[in-house]
Structure formats: C-alpha cells, structure tokens
Amino acid sequence: MILAAVFVTAQFAQERRSTRDGVYTEAQASRGQGAYKKSCGTCHGETLMGSGAAIPPLAGSDFTDQWAGQTADDLFERMQTTMPGDHPGTLARATNADILAYILQVNKLPAGKQELPTDADALKQIQFAAAH
C-alpha cells in the first residue's frame, strides 16, 4: 500500500512541469512565429510588446510576472477563447499551441524535445514560470 502511494506521488511529480523544463520544440516555435505574424502581430506588435493596457505585451517581465504561477492552460484558454481580437476563437488549438511555443521562446524559456500539447489536461500540468 505504501509502495503504491509512493509510486503515484512520484508519477504525479514527474507529470507536473514548468515552462522552464523545455515544454515546446524549436520547430513548433518556428511555426508559431509565422502564425503569430499572421494572426497576432498587427495588434501585439512585431516584438510582442503590445501597446498599453488595451493590448498588453506578450514578452518581458510584465507579461511573465502576470502569468507566473498560473498554468499553461490558463494562458492557452485565454488565447483560444479571446484571440485574435477581431475574430476570437477562430484559430485551431494546434495553431494556438504553436503561437504559445513562440511566446515562450521569445520570453527566453528553453525548448525541449516534445511539442507543447493542445490537450487541456496536459497543459494544466505545466506551470508558467519566468525564465529568470
């Protein structure tokens, strides 16, 4: 019984990750850069710095501080349901995952060997953390 509890606890600890753990691939971020330019860049800008409170930045300490401690799913679902601003909810989940991978890359969070998932349960296991 104790062994089973230790195994379940260890398995949960392995599943729980942070954005510092390489949760996207370079190829995914590259796809995301193209999708970002097409669907997000007009408002959030080429450098992802936004234009104030109405269009917040997607890069830098203000952005990472806002999302720190939340899950990747929190940010992903915000993107999925409210973006792009002129046509909310029109991007495919895979496209939003690619864009989020690009956002993580721009924020100097490391790439890894597996793509950022599109599944809400998997995204809930990834805690958003700043690069520094």
117-129 pLDDT, tens per residue? Answer: 999 999 999 999 9
7-60 pLDDT, tens per residue? Answer: 443 444 457 899 999 999 999 999 999 999 999 999 999 999 998 778 999 999
Look at residue 108 and tell me if it is in a domain.
yes
Look at residue 17 and give its three-state secondary structure: strand
The CATH code of the domain that includes 42 is 1.10.760.10
H-helix segments, 21-71: 26-39, 41-44, 61-67
Q: What pLDDT does 132 receive?
A: 66
The string of DSSP letters for 69-82 reads TSBHHHHHHHHHHH
Look at residue 59 and tell me if it is in a domain.
yes
Look at residue 16 and tell me if it is in a domain.
no
Look at residue 44 and tell me if it is in a domain.
yes
Domains identified in the chain, total number: 1
Residues spanned by the domain of 116: 28-127
| Of 118, 125, 106, 108, residue with least CA distance to 47 | 106
Look at residue 4 and tell me if it is in a domain.
no
